[in-house]
Chain A
Amino acid sequence: MKPERVPGRYIREEDLRRLPGVIEYTPTARYSYSAGQALSEFLRGLKDGRILGKLCPSCRRVLVPPRVYCEFCFTPTTEWVEVTGAGRVETAVISYIGVARERLEKPEIIGVIRLDAPGHAENSFDFAGLFHKLCGVTEDDVKSGRVIGMRVKPRWKPVHERVGSILDIECFEPLQPREVV
Chain B
Amino acid sequence: MVGVKSNIFVKDKVAIVGAGLTLFRRRLLETPRDLAWEASREALSSAGLTLKDIDCIVVGSAPDAFDGIHMKGEYLADGSGGFNKPVVRVFVGGGTGVMVPVVAWWHVASGLCKTVLAVGEEKMSHAYPHPQGVFAYIWDPILERPLGPNLIWIFALEMRRYMHVCNASKEDIALVSVKNKRNALDHPAAQAAAKITVDDVLKSEVLVWPVQLLDISPVSDGAAALVLASESVARRVTDTPVWVEGIGFTLDNTHWYNRDLAYPRYLEYAARMAYKMAGIERPWREIDVAEPYDPFDYKELHHIEGLMLARRCEAPKLLKEGYFDRSGELPTSPGGGLLGVGNPIAAAGVMKVAELFWQLRYEAGARQVKKPVHKAVANAWGDLMQAGTVVVLST
In the complex, whether B237 has a CB less than 8 A from a CB of chain A is no
B393 to chain A, nearest CB (A): 16
Are B150 and A97 in contact, with the CB atoms below 8 A?
yes
Contacts of B89 in A (CB 8 A): none
Chain A: interface size category: 35 or more
**Which B151-186 residues have a C-beta within 8 angstroms of A?**
152-153, 156-158, 160-161, 164
In the complex, whether A90 has a CB less than 8 A from a CB of chain B is yes
Contacts of A128 in B (CB 8 A): 258
Are B157 and A110 in contact, with the CB atoms below 8 A?
yes
In the complex, whether B35 has a CB less than 8 A from a CB of chain A is yes
Stretch among B21-29, B100-108, B304-312 lining the A interface:
B21-29
In the complex, whether A76 has a CB less than 8 A from a CB of chain B is no
In the complex, whether A27 has a CB less than 8 A from a CB of chain B is yes
In the complex, whether B199 has a CB less than 8 A from a CB of chain A is no
CA distance A32 to B188 in the complex (A): 47
In this complex, which of B129, B141, B156, B261 has the most chain A Cβ atoms within 10 angstroms of its Cβ?
A: B156
Known A43-B142, A71-B253: A99·B136 in contact at CB below 8 Å = yes
- Which chain B residue lies CB-closest to A33? B141
28 A-B pairs in the complex with CB atoms less than 8 angstroms apart? A1-B188, A1-B364, A6-B23, A6-B188, A8-B35, A8-B38, A8-B222, A12-B27, A13-B27, A16-B29, A31-B141, A33-B141, A33-B142, A43-B142, A90-B260, A91-B157, A93-B208, A93-B211, A100-B129, A101-B133, A110-B147, A112-B157, A112-B161, A112-B261, A127-B259, A129-B257, A132-B147, A166-B147
Q: Which residues of B contact A (CB under 8 A)?
A: 19-30, 35, 38-39, 41-42, 46, 68, 129-130, 132-133, 136, 141-144, 146-150, 152-153, 156-158, 160-161, 164, 188-189, 206-211, 222, 253-255, 257-261, 263, 265, 354, 358, 363-365
Q: Which residues of A contact B (CB under 8 A)?
A: 1, 3, 6-13, 16, 25, 27, 31, 33, 35, 39, 42-43, 63-65, 67, 71-72, 90-101, 110-112, 125-133, 139, 142-143, 145, 148, 165-167
